[in-house]
Amino acid sequence: MVGLENQPLEGIELKYDKYLRTAGRKVYFARDASGSKLSSGEDLEAKGNDLLLTIDEGLQYIVEQELDKAMARWNSVAASAIMMDPHTGEILALANRPSYDLNNISGAGKNAIRNRVITDIYEPGSTFKVIVGTAALEEKLYNLDSKFDCSRGAIEVGGKLIHDAHKHGVLTFQEVIQKSSNVGRS
């Protein structure tokens, strides 16, 4: 996001401003004898660096449409999504809701302007447990009815105690996936 004078306000423009900014430019125009411009101008001074983003327009559109659907379905206050290429780490799509009109930022509240994907902290265990759970089912280590004792509300990992926000008692595998909890096998 940039301001009216092209000054960086947020995001990639602010982060990389020192690389993108130039010391100033002069644009020269060809003019006729009466002073009317004959050309669109020629920039004769050095330009700043370019920054190439990896956002894919088609994937971005799909992600934004799916976020809108999810917001409506779950009556959410906010939602975020990021799509990355797992081989390169390139960001292919990134979206937040609520959003705002980029051409009219004055009508947007702080909640809409904040880039939640970048600024907000989230607990990766809540999303990553689906991957670990799927692998455990595939390897037949557990089944959907396996029980886990979550009653302590804490688990020790690497010598550190990690606490749950809620003590859930004994849960089945399915219930563990439904809730965010650190569990110990019973």
What residues are annotated to the active site? 126
Asked if residue 179 lies in contact with residue 171, where contact means CB atoms within 8 angstroms, the answer is yes
- Structural tokens at position 90: 């390139």
Torsion, CA 176, CA 94, CA 99, CA 106, rounded to 10: 140
| CA atoms lying within 13 Å on the CB side of residue 21 | 12
- Structural tokens at position 168: 């859930």
**Residue 112 neighbours by CB under 8 Å, 6+ apart:** 98, 99, 100
